[in-house]
Amino acid sequence: MIQTIDENIKNRKSIFAFSDKMVEDSKLNLIFDAARRAPSSFNAQPWRYIYARKGEESYDILYNLLMDGNKIWASTAPVLILGFTEVIDSKRGRSNRFAFHDLGMATAMLMLQATSSGLSTHPMGGYDTVKAKEVFGIPSGFEPGAMIALGYEGSTENLPEDLKKRHNAPRLRKNITEFAFHGKWLSETGS
């Protein structure tokens, strides 16, 4: 059997143009089910998500947290999701240094399930994290991670030229040898 990279890993990309079509409840359930299955340190499952559909008051609250550069294109996303993680391990009375790691893994699962369900995503760090905690009354011990725009891919015709380009641009990546080191640390020069 020829081994190839999983199609959903290959096809996922952070898009800038969403269609009006609302995400079905069943699909929302699927993507959170995928997140639920992520591994986590001590199985703490520190991730939490607040999500909202366009038209709901909480969608506007999420949207208004975004930086202007993200607002331009994220206004087309039918669903916004904001990730949080529990940074305190209350059972052990210490901080959980894998809290963001584990939120990231759950979110990666969520995004790949979205891709496999015909949806697209775009994670964003460009929003007001301090205000996010305030407006949603987030309890102490939880910190916000990325906000994710979710929906079906739409036409780029109404996007400004620069975003159209970014939507369609090839995604550049490091070569494997630049980050996967066999047995010892390799510096930028390869020595």
Site string (76-115) toward ligand FMN, x via CB under 6 A: ----------------------------------------
Which secondary-structure segment (H or E) carries 141?
none
DSSP 66-127: B-HHHHHHHTT-SEEEEEEEE-EETTTTEE-TTHHHHHHHHHHHHHHHHHHTT-EEEEE--B
Compare residues 170 and 183 and give the one whose CB is closer to ligand FMN: 170
Minimum CB separation from ligand FMN for residue 56, in Å? 22
Q: How far is CA 107 from the centre of its chain?
A: 5
Burial (CB count <10 Å: 0-12, 13-18, 19+), residue 110: buried
Residue nearest to ligand FMN (CB): 126
Check binding of 41 to ligand FMN (CB under 6 A).
Answer: no
Residue 132 in contact with residue 61, Cβ under 8 Å?
no
Site string for ligand FMN, 1-40 (x = CB under 6 A): ------------xx--------------------------
Q: Which of 45, 70, 85, 120 binds ligand FMN (CB under 6 A)?
A: 70
The residue within the footprint of ligand FMN, chosen from 118, 125, 139, 160 (CB under 6 A), is 125
Phi-psi region of 182 (alpha: psi -120 to 50; beta: other; left: phi over 0): beta
- Span interacting with ligand FMN, options 78-86, 122-130, 136-144, 152-160, rule CB under 6 A: 122-130
Contact positions toward ligand FMN, by CB under 6 A? Answer: 13-14, 70, 123-126, 146, 171
